[in-house]
Chains A and B, each alone.
Chain A
Amino acid sequence: MDILNAFVAFANFVLVPGLTYGSQLALGALGITLIFGVLRFSNFAHGDTMAFGTAFVILFTWWFQSMGISGGFLPTALLALPFGIAVTIAMVLGTDRVVYRFYRQQRAKPIILVIVSAGVMFVMNGLVRMIIGTSEKNFSDGSRFLLDPKVFRDATGLAEPLAIKTTQAVTVVVAILCVAALFWFLQKTRTGKSMRAYADNEDLALLSGINPDRVVMVTWIIAGTLACIAGTLYGLDKSFRVFVYFGLMLPIFAAAIVGGLGSPLGAIVGGYVIAFSELLVTSAWRKIAGYILPDGWLGDGLYQALSTDYKVAVSFVILIVVLLVRPQGIFGGK
């Protein structure tokens, strides 16, 4: 039995990727939950907003690279990120002005807004395909590893390597910064409090003189920013393909609903719950089990509950179970 090697293998194959993927889902789910809380509908276009933002980050990255600007050991995309965010914000505000505002003024039912957002989703998806194409794009540069597996092995003398990719470290750090900034904004600033008040009780917020147009605008700005950041981090960590982002919508929605729609804290917890569930179910546990089980107990199998092809099913199952058992989610959303 070799606990240390087992733990390193666990960290390498589950913990580090889970934290990374969970952070990406959490940032996406925060956008969903904010839109739901303030605008009161489930924004199906969020996955494609992420793709849209990422596409522009990639374009800016290429442009910077062609001019010889780079981020050193960090990905150049981090320099391009603010510009991508600006374009994304312009896009979501434009969409709100052209599409959503009309339905808001009609006081349309949430279900209508959901269908409308599905329409926006298709338009945005097509736009992204036209702008950057359907093929896979890798735009990560800089140094590949923050913690090189060979260095780790040489330093510790363990049989198992532990690798932390630069993009994984960047993801977690950026996610922490974003979440801290968002919570500070929501808890401490006047505008943030007015957003919470508006989400809590719209009529009373209006009676208190809170300007709904401003709240809506700020919400879109934050949601657009988070979408662009989440998409870019996911693209850096894995790669960019429009249809993958379209598919990301499911785990992101699952994360937001598991945590409780409308609850920012819930969105974060939900993101990690979904990410770790997917990884725990689809990882091959053979290597880790090999270190823990007594000699000769290990059979031939991979000790993998589900093929990674089925990881979407994990989000689906969790989503259905949560909706059946606790529809308000962990943190009691709406």
Chain B
Amino acid sequence: MAEPFLIGDGMTGGYGTVDILHNCTISVEKGQIAVIVGPNGAGKSTAMKAVFGMLKLRGGAVRLDGEDITTLTPQARVRKGMGFVPQTHNIFTTMTVEENLEMGAFIRTDTGIAGTMEQVYDLFPILKQKRYQPAGELSGGQRQQVAVGRALMTQPKVLMLDEPTAGVSPIVMDELFDRIIEIARTGISILMVEQNARQALEIADKGYVLVQGANRFTDTGKALMADPEVRRSFLGG
């Protein structure tokens, strides 16, 4: 089997001396959606941060398109084509929506920034309406759209989302998931951590169930949904 587009292979590591991740493997194919689910404290966000280089690994490797990027800083990974949307503090609250997007494109030196911005506005039409409004004044769902839009401005090949639907209403959540599917259709790989396991697995090409920092179940989203043990343990029956 060919190597996945992005893979965190056998990652082991943690914040201090205690390991949180134990030989944990996360990967995503080109243009697909991979979702990490699991109980609280399972190391979901930690696994994501490890893939993005915000965590020092004691073992394992991270490879993007076959290239070993284990030792790169998060900033360097952004330049390699990875976009990251943190769970909180993921927008510049005092700056307008448009300025947020501009800052997202800060590392780009080409002339296509305006075009990318139009694409983001096509994806999230509400942002175009509110382009001159400070992002801090927007609703929770709109802020998440700004956050995702900001990350898209670098034209990433992989978009990593840390609980994009945390704290938004169910209707907004459905819409965000729809947008995420749309993004994946454009060829961008999506790796996301989700609290709302059921809805997330429904749209996932691949699902990872983590328990205590290790892979417990790995399969397609559909298969995981159908697995009685996964259902009983993690999806509430």
Q: Which residues of A contact B (CB under 8 A)?
A: 190, 193-194, 196-197, 200-201, 203-210
Contact = CB atoms under 8 A, between A and B. Distances in A.
A6 B91 CA distance: 53
Nearest to B84: A207
15 contacts: A190-B106, A193-B102, A193-B103, A194-B103, A196-B94, A197-B92, A197-B103, A197-B106, A200-B95, A205-B103, A206-B74, A207-B78, A207-B84, A208-B103, A209-B107
B222 interface: no
Contacts of B99: 193, 196-197
A209 B79 contact: yes
B150 interface: yes
Interface of A is mostly: helix
Count class of interface residues, chain B: 20 to 34
A200 B94 contact: yes
Given A194-B103, A194-B106, A207 B92 contact: no
A193 B79 CA distance: 20
A208 B104 contact: yes
Contacts of B95: 193, 196-197, 200
B146 to A, nearest CB: 11
Contact of B92 (A200, A206, A209): A200
Contacts of B75: 206-207, 209
Contacts of A205: 92, 103
A184 B55 CA distance: 39
Nearest to B99: A193
A6 B237 CA distance: 84
Contacts of B154: 209
Interface string B72-102: 0011001100001010011111110001001
Nearest to A263: B94
Given A196-B94, A205-B92, 15 more contacts: A193-B95, A194-B106, A197-B92, A197-B99, A200-B94, A200-B95, A201-B91, A204-B89, A204-B91, A204-B92, A204-B150, A207-B86, A208-B106, A209-B75, A209-B79
Contacts of B74: 206-207
Contact of A203 (B89, B103, B106, B150): B89
A102 to B, nearest CB: 21
Nearest to A203: B89
Nearest to B105: A208
Contact of A209 (B78, B90, B91, B102): B78
Contacts of B92: 196-197, 200-201, 204-205
Contacts of A193: 95, 99, 102-103
Interface string B126-163: 00000000000000000000000010001000000000
4 closest residue pairs by CB, A with B:
A209-B107, A200-B92, A197-B103, A208-B106
A216 to B, nearest CB: 16
B90 A204 contact: yes
A228 B92 CA distance: 31
Contact of B150 (A190, A200, A208, A210): A208
